[in-house]
Structure 1
Amino acid sequence: MVKVTYEIVPHDEGWAYRLDGAYSETFASHDEALEAARIVMRELQISDEPVRIVYQDEKGRWHAEMSDGRDRPEVEILDSYSGALSATDAPPAR
């Protein structure tokens, strides 16, 4: 299973959440950035419909796979100001 970790960090005179070096928009407060990351975390937990995925590997070969839409990543928010939160800490998606 894939694990996604968002970090809450100071950014551009405000706060943002960061994933693999990419920043979200800047929020005025820590709490706003944390809430935005929680929203993204909940959305990543929602199952999707099955879909056919076609991709080319590094050797130039093409592959086709079916994704059942239930293969969701494990999501975590790392916040050095209030500790680490997992997907189970967020309220259920609506």
Structure 2
Amino acid sequence: MIKVAYEIVPHDGGWAYRLGNVYSESFASHDEALEAARIVMQEQQVGDEPVKISYQDEKGKWHYEYSDGGDRPEVEIVDHYEAGDRPA
């Protein structure tokens, strides 16, 4: 099973959640970024209809697969910033 971890981090003068090297939009507060990450986490758990999917990898090769719609990743939120430790 795939595991996805959204990390709450300072970003662009505010806060964001990050997956790998990709950041969400900036939020004014840590709590807003955390709530947005929780919403995304819940959406990750919703299954879908079976579909055929295609995608192109970084080398330009096309891949074709079947998704049964129920293979949802395990999702967690990583937050290293306690209320007293958060940068301003």
Superposition TM-score tier, normalisation by shorter sequence = 0.7 to 0.9
Superposition RMSD on alpha carbons, in Å? 2.1
The count of corresponding residues between Structure 1 and Structure 2 is 82
Shift of 1:54: 3.6
CA displacement, residues 56-85 of structure 1 (integer Å, 9 cap, x when unaligned):
678987654321100001111000025xxx
Distance 1:81 1:11 in 2: 13
Distance 1:28 1:59 in 2: 38
Distance 2:9 2:60 in 1: 38
Equivalent residue number for residue 66 of structure 2: 66
Distance 1:59 1:25 in 2: 28
Unaligned regions of 5+ residues in structure 1, if any?
Answer: 83-94
* Residues 1:16 and 2:16 aligned together: yes
Structure 1 counterpart of 2:47, which letter?
Answer: S
- Bigger mean CA deviation after superposition, 60-69 or 12-21: 60-69
CA 1:14–1:67: 2 relative to 1, 3 Å: same
Shift of 1:47: 0.4
Distance 2:64 2:50 in 1: 13
TM-score, L = length of structure 1: 0.75
CA 1:28–1:52: 2 relative to 1, 3 Å: same
